[in-house]
Amino acid sequence: MRTHEINRRLAAAGFQVTVLTTRYPGWQERVQDGVLYVPIGFGSGANRLTRLLAYVVRLPFEARKRRTAADLVVEDFFAPFSTMAAPLWTQRPTIGIVQWLHAAEKARQYKLPLQWIERLGVRKHRRLIAVSAGIADRLTALNPGVHVDVIGNGVDPGAWEPEPRLGQDILFIGRLEYGHKGLDLLLEAWQQCCERIDGDLLIAGTGPDEPRLRAAIHDTGLSERVRLLGWLAGDRKFQALSDARLVVMPSRHETFGLVAIEALATGTPVIAFNIPCLREIIPDGAGWLVDAFDVTALAEEISHRYPQAGLAEASASGRAFAVDYNWDSLADLQAEAYRTALAHLHEARPAKKQTSYVERT
């Protein structure tokens, strides 16, 4: 989503953007919102593993084939090893876009040393764009000499449409990953505080751990106080955020925390653990941070804030803060980062009115 929202704005501003992506069933080259998408690989792309492998094999050749038409190559980091060390083989000025660093988690999942590939790839980049200061800190730890611009994610304009209201329920929205998203911590905290709360805990989302979550809700005796809403998107998601009294984000890890910004945009305050990335986007007065993974502190914060008279002020403060997270402004920042990267990589072409980019994602 981020890649397309930024690129379509760059295309509207006169940039020529080509995205090299994986094949998929029924794939075809297409122009969408002014952006050219070119699926590469072998075959139909029906199998997830084979289409990834085919993409990895073909990518260096396809990128080099187009290098004469590109002023800048943008490597959009992707799972499972984050980066293919694109500056080694693009033969053009190259910048990386880092929405997340996957390798440590995927290394545990697949029992492969993927973190070493990630480390090598990051060290080959001279300039990167990260979506948060937390990610930027991790990048500079891997490569102390790299320059990192921090350019966050944007909020869909639909988040501003519902009228803010003081709802009754507590809301969680996210992928249902039991440990990563802290759903175990949330249920434990809810056990401690739900008797002091008039509303219910609403959990929206889907994911691999949904059966485990349902079992935990049953085993802890919370079936009457927890409701699963399934997947919410678009207007339904923003209405649910606006209708909630508080949004809770109990994540153990986040790379940006888009749900928090969306909640603030709808006028709903956020309670979260004090972890990198989330502490950047939950300002004082618009939400509250508690000590990381302290379940009792989380329960106390929910029960303390729920009846608080100042929620209306927090709602207004959150909306004012979220205004800066709009795709138009972020696309302008990214365009400037691209121009600066060209200048500092010492291979800029003569100035011209339009600049073309090849991006791979």
Selection from 251, 229, 107 nearest residue 178 by Cα: 251
Is 194 exposed, middle or buried (CB count within 10 Å of its CB: 0-12, 13-18, 19+)? buried
Computed on alpha carbons and rounded to an integer, the radius of gyration of the chain in Å comes to 22
3-state secondary structure 247-294: EEECCCCCCCCHHHHHHHHHCCCEEEECCCCHHHHCCECCEEEECCCC
Q: Are residues 219 and 181 in the same domain?
A: yes
Is the pLDDT score of 105 beyond 90?
no
Q: What is the pLDDT of residues 46-72, one digit of tens each?
A: 998 899 999 999 999 999 999 889 999
Q: Are residues 165 and 112 in the same domain?
A: no
Q: How far apart are the first and last CA of the chain?
A: 11
Q: Are residues 132 and 179 in the same domain?
A: no
pLDDT band at 107 (very low <50, low <70, confident <90, very high): confident
Report the length, in residues, of the chain. 361
Q: Are residues 175 and 315 in the same domain?
A: yes
Separation CA 16–CA 357 (nearest Å): 6
Bond before 60 cis per omega within 30 degrees: no
Residue found by looking up tokens 């929202």 in the block: 5
Q: For residues 308-336, give the mean pLDDT.
A: 92
Q: Are residues 134 and 24 in the same domain?
A: yes
The dihedral through the CA atoms of 133, 134, 138, 144 has a sign that is: positive
pLDDT band at 104 (very low <50, low <70, confident <90, very high): confident
Q: What is the pLDDT of residues 244-290, one digit of tens each?
A: 999 999 999 888 999 999 999 999 999 999 999 999 999 998 999 99
Task: Kindly give the pairing relationship between strand 30-32 and strand 35-40.
Answer: antiparallel
Q: Are residues 205 and 308 in the same domain?
A: yes
Q: For residues 228-250, give the mean pLDDT.
A: 96
Share above pLDDT 70 across residues of the chain, in percent, rounded to a whole number:
96
Q: Which one is predicted more confidently, 345 or 234?
A: 234
Q: What is the pLDDT of residues 165-198, one digit of tens each?
A: 889 999 999 999 999 899 999 999 999 999 999 9
Are 176 and 210 contacting, i.e. CB atoms less than 8 angstroms apart? yes
Separation CA 202–CA 239 (nearest Å): 13
Q: What is the pLDDT of residues 189-223, one digit of tens each?
A: 999 999 999 999 999 999 999 999 999 999 999 99
Is the pLDDT score of 38 beyond 70?
yes
Q: Are residues 10 and 117 in the same domain?
A: yes
Is the pLDDT score of 359 beyond 80?
no
Q: Are residues 287 and 330 in the same domain?
A: no
Helix H or strand E segment including 226: strand 226-230
pTM of the prediction? Answer: 0.86
Are 90 and 73 contacting, i.e. CB atoms less than 8 angstroms apart? yes
CA dihedral 254→246→227→296, nearest 10 degrees, is 70
Structure tokens of 99? 């929405």
Q: How many structural domains is the chain composed of?
A: 2
Q: Are residues 313 and 342 in the same domain?
A: no
DSSP code, position 78: B
Q: What is the CATH number of the domain that holds 268?
A: 3.40.50.2000
Q: Are residues 48 and 127 in the same domain?
A: yes
In this prediction, residue 108 carries a pLDDT of 84
pLDDT band at 308 (very low <50, low <70, confident <90, very high): confident
Domain that holds residue 225: 157-322
Q: Are residues 127 and 172 in the same domain?
A: no
In this prediction, residue 352 carries a pLDDT of 46
Q: Are residues 10 and 150 in the same domain?
A: yes
